[in-house]
Each structure stands twice: as structure tokens, then as C-alpha cells.
Structure 1
Amino acid sequence: MVNVRPEQVRGARAMLGWSQDELAGRVGVQRRVILDFESGRRLPHESTIEALHRVLSESGITFTHTADGSVGVYMSRTAPIAAGTRSKSR
């Protein structure tokens, strides 16, 4: 069983610059599934949680969980460039 929390998904999307629509498309679910999960309204099917974890992990996101119950995410320096983002250099 994969352990992914709503706040981790929100944080991962922010790091990648992805909208809920983009994440939903990559996972193969409707945007409402992402919206409901991130807002805590509904827990998706286990297969959807696993797909969220896989898609985000393959995009350079690492999920963290500590013994005291804290959770987080970080993005690898070698993460693929997120679609729709632009370089800040001029």
C-alpha cells in the first residue's frame, strides 16, 4: 500500500508547476478526483493513489514520511523540466 497524503500531492504539483487538470490527465482520472482528494473530501481508489505516486515519482518527486507522522515532498535536482514552465534566465 502506497501512503500519499493530499498535502503532498498539492506540494508536488506546485513544485512541478502542474495544474489539477494536468495531473489528472497524466494519471488518467478526471480533475474532480484530484480536487476531491486534495481538499480531503474523498479518498480515491488504491489504484489511483498508486498512479499518483508513480506519476509524481517519475517526474522527480520524492515523498517523505517521518516516525512522528510528519510528511513532505521534495524534487530531485535532476527532475525533468515540467511542461508549461519557462526558464527564468534572460
Structure 2
Amino acid sequence: MTMITPEQIRGARAMLGMTQADLAKLAGISTTGLNNIERGTADPKASTLRAIQAALEEAGAIFVAANGEGPGVRLRKNAE
């Protein structure tokens, strides 16, 4: 499993309309920790990145693998 990037985290959070505080709470980490991860100044554990990814996916984000232009993120289509 490829770990998500700071850019994917920021993008997913923006698309979902979440604040850093919202995501940090859902992922069970501090807002400061999330801020450091998003800025690329922290070297988070794989378990922390998995928690962030799980929280974002639960909220509707889908992470896509590199497609020649790098990894990305999109929103899940609602099955309504």
C-alpha cells in the first residue's frame, strides 16, 4: 500500500470542506501534528498516515495511485 502524500491530505481535506482540527479529531491526532504532516516537516508513522487516510475515506475521499502525473485524490460519487 502506497502511503498518502501531504498534498493528497490537503487536497482531500479541502474538497471535503474540513478544517485541520476536524481531520485531526477524526484521525485521533493533534492539530499541530497534522499541520506538520501537511507542511512536510514531520516524518509520521505509517499508522498515523493510515488513520488520516481512513478518516478522509470515511468522509468521502478516494485516493488514486500515480498515473504518470503523480498520485491524486477525488471525491466518491454518492450512490443516491
Instruction: Tell me, yes or no, whether TM beats 0.5.
Output: yes
Kept after mapping to 2: 8 A contact 1:61/1:74: yes
2:74 alignment partner in structure 1:
74
| 1:41 Cα offset (Å) | 0.3
| 1:67 Cα offset (Å) | 4.9
Residues 4-60 of structure 1, C-alpha deviations (whole Å, 9 max, x = no match): 000000000001101001100011110011100110101211111110111111111
Q: As a proportion of its length, which structure holds more helix?
A: 2
The correspondence of residues 18-33 of structure 1 with structure 2, limited to 5 A, is 18-33=18-33
Letter of the 2:16 partner, please give it. L
Kept after mapping to 1: 8 A contact 2:3/2:46: no
Taking only aligned residues, the RMSD between alpha carbons, in angstroms, comes to 1.6
Max radius of gyration: which structure? 1
The correspondence of residues 2-81 of structure 1 with structure 2, limited to 5 A, is 2-68=2-68, 70-78=70-78
Size of the aligned set, in residue pairs, is 79
| 1:75 Cα offset (Å) | 0.3
* Structure 1 unaligned residues grouped into runs of 5+: 80-90
* Structure 2 unaligned residues grouped into runs of 5+: none
Report percent identity of matched pairs: 37
